[in-house]
Structures are given as C-alpha cells and as structure tokens.
Amino acid sequence: MVHPSRFEVAVHRSLPAALARGALVALVALAPVARLSAQGAIDPNVAPRAAALEREGERQMAIDLLGHYLATAPDDGRAWLQLGRFYLFDSRDWHLHGHRGDPDGLLYLDFAATAFDQSIRLSVDSGLVLRGVAEVDRALVGVEQAGWDPVRYVRPQPGTPSMPAFIVELGANLLTSCPAGGVLLTGNDLESVSVWYGSQQRAPLDILPIRPDLYATDSLYRERMAAAMGVDPALPVQRALAAASTSRTLCLSPSTDLAAAPALAWVPFRLVRLSRPVSPGPDALSVAELLKATRQDRSPWVQDVRGVYEAAAGHNVLLCGSLLLFLGDAPPPACRP
C-alpha cells in the first residue's frame, strides 16, 4: 500500500531542488499505483476546503490537505485541479519574490502540469485551459532566461494537450487585430494563453505580446521585454510603453488595464485599440469555432471567450454587426439600441 507520506514528499514546497525532482517522479506515478491499493471514496468537499484555506493565506496547509487526500482518492479530478492551481500560484510567487527559493519556478510548473494532466484524464473542465496556462508560464521563464527572440520560436512540449479551438481562434483574432511589428498588451490569463496558442498557427511571431502587470512587478521580465521593445528598463510600465509607441504600434486587448496604458489617442480596430491608425490587412476575423463551441460545449470558458468579444464591442461598435450578430439573439449591452 502507498503510504501518504510519499505524496507529502511529492508536494512539499520547501524541498531541496534535487529531492523535489525525484518527488516529481513520485507524483507522476502515484495515481496509478494508488488505484491498485485500498482507494478511498471521493469527498466533494475536499477541493472547496482547500480553496478556502488558500484564500485565508494557508496555501501550504491546503497542499498538505490535498496530498493526504489524493494519496487515497486519486480519481478526484477537482482536487487535482486545485493542486495544480496552487503550484501555478507558487511559481508566480517565485517570480514576485525575486526568483529566489528552492525549488524554482520551472519545477513548480512541472508539478502544476502533472496535476493538471491528472485532472484532464478525469475530464475536469478547466484542466485543459490551465494546463495551457502552465505552458505559457513556462515560456515566460524562458523569456527571462534567454530573452524574447529565441522564445518566439518555441512550441509547446511534445505531448502537451491541444488547446480548445475556440480559444486558439480568439488568439488568432487578437493577433490579426494588431499590425506586424506591433506590441500587443494582454490583460489576463485567457487572452495571454489564447495569443500564445494562436501564434502557433502562423509564422514565427512578428508581434510582441506584453503583460503590463508582469512588466510592473517582475524585474527580469521587465529587463527582457524592455530590450525587445528597445526602451530603457528603468522606465515604469506606462512611460516604457509611451517610449515604445514612437516606433511601434501599441495594441490594447479588451481586458488590458488602462492604468498601465499611456495617454494616447486610442483608435478602435477589430478587437483592440491602437495607438495609431493602420490599414486593414488581408486576414479577417472569424468566430466559426466559437459558434461551434456555443452549440456543443458546456465549458464556462465559452462564455469567458464570448466576454472578450463583447468587451471589444464596447470600444468598436462595428463588431456588433460584423461579428456578434452571429452569436445569438441577446446582444451584449454595447450593441443594444
């Protein structure tokens, strides 16, 4: 029988790096091994209890709770999803705390990816999207280590599950809305993951995606992306973007926080707002995959993606007729008479 302490070794955040790498192997192997032993019943209250602990600032206690529980109930996909989220948070905290600590951000992402893979195996909604978010965060570490130019050629690791087509379509539409050589500001994980996976459908990315929140809080990210924009890394985010706008078109995604945007005369164009007018390119927007998902997919991410398009219509009323007309009889507020 697998003793729960083996799982505790797998999830304990304070392990030395060498031991933690071995623990990842235990984490990967744990679920099939545990199913051969006495398996406990799934308790639907465990994942919400862990989430409540994390909100109270007790993330390690929440991880320990999930560790004990999943050692005997490895088929609880919601618990695996929560565990993956917590490791994703740990990876991001590692960035915020000056990239110090052992294990490092990449190892936390390995743990997160493994947990999300288990949630995908158990058909838990959101596991697939959050698995993609972990890959985007892995690319972020690559940017900090090597700069933007090498990373824009990187593709997801072999065996990484495919992102839902309607999310990839959103990313392609955001990229199509930004002219070549532009700087595309994204405001949340959904936009960021859609742009990353949307970029896989085209030639090496000629648009520079920027997360203003990371630029403001992560010194390594700021240094690398300032170099990519050709601006002084000592400048705060708003002034850095203003400096970049003299030579590049800035593109604001629908969820970008305007507090980070320089005071420019923003021009609505497709799904974004531009720092200067541009001529339309040959590529057109498409919502074919979103329409299909609206009819066939119960995922809450369908509504979240629709929310991005509806938010874009709040700045560009032309989308109401050309795009949102196809999404149903109830138009978003921005498109109502």
Beta strands in the chain (DSSP E): 183-185, 208-210, 250-252, 267-269, 272-274
Quote the pLDDT of residue 153: 76
What integer pLDDT is reported at residue 327 of this predicted model? Answer: 72
pLDDT of residue 27: 53
What per-residue confidence (pLDDT) applies to 243? 97
| Model pLDDT for residues 144-154, shown as the tens digit of each residue | 999 998 887 77
Half-sphere exposure of 50 (CA within 13 A, CB side): 25
E strands in 137-222:
183-185, 208-210
Indicate the length of the chain as a whole number: 337
pLDDT in tens, 263-318: 999 999 999 999 999 887 777 899 999 999 988 878 899 999 999 999 999 999 88
Residue 203 confidence (pLDDT): 61
Cβ atoms within 10 Å of 328's Cβ, excluding its own = 11
pLDDT band at 334 (very low <50, low <70, confident <90, very high): confident
Tokens 């618990």 belong to residue: 79
Omega before 16 cis (within 30°)? no
Question: pLDDT tens-digit profile of 96-155?
Answer: 999 987 788 999 999 999 999 999 999 998 999 999 999 999 999 999 999 998 887 777
In DSSP terms, 252 is beta-bridged to 185, 273
Task: Report the DSSP beta bridge partners of residue 208.
Answer: 183
* Rounded distance between C-alpha atoms, residue 146 and residue 179, angstroms: 25
pLDDT tens-digit series, residues 37-49:
457 789 999 999 9
Label the pairing between strands 183-185 and 208-210.
parallel
In which band, very low, low, confident or very high, does the pLDDT at 205 lie, cut at 50, 70 and 90?
Answer: low
Query: What is the reported pLDDT for 299?
Result: 87
> What pTM value is reported for the model?
0.87
Whole-angstrom Cα Rg for the chain: 21
